[in-house]
Amino acid sequence: MAFRAAFAGWRRVAAISAALVFACAALPASAQTAAPSVQNEYEAGWINDAQGMRHFTGFRCPNEVGGLTRSKVMPTVNNRVASCIYVDETGGIQVVVSAFQQGMARREAGKFKTGYQAAGYKELALSGIAASGITFTTGGGEGRMLCETLWPMSGKSADYTVWIHYSLPFHEQAVEPAFNAVVEMLKAQN
CA distances from 174 to 94, 116, 124, 130, 137 (A): 11, 23, 18, 11, 17
Distance CA 57, CA 81 (A): 8
Q: What is the pLDDT of residue 183?
A: 96
Q: Is 120 in contact with 127 (CB distance < 8 Å)?
A: no
CA distances from 186 to 78, 84, 89, 156, 183 (A): 21, 12, 21, 11, 5
Q: What is the pLDDT of residue 36?
A: 46
Q: What is the pLDDT of residue 98?
A: 94
**What is the pTM (predicted TM-score) of this model?**
0.75
Q: What is the pLDDT of residue 132?
A: 95
- For residues 112, 113, 115, 120, the Cα torsion angle rounded to the nearest 10 degrees is 140
Q: What is the pLDDT of residue 21?
A: 34
Residue 30 is inside which H or E element, if any?
helix 29-32
Q: What is the pLDDT of residue 41?
A: 57
Query: Is the domain covering 46-189 a CATH 3.40.1000 domain?
Result: yes
What's the average pLDDT block by block, 10 residues per block, for the chain (190 residues)? 45 38 38 46 75 87 93 82 90 92 93 96 93 94 92 93 94 92 92
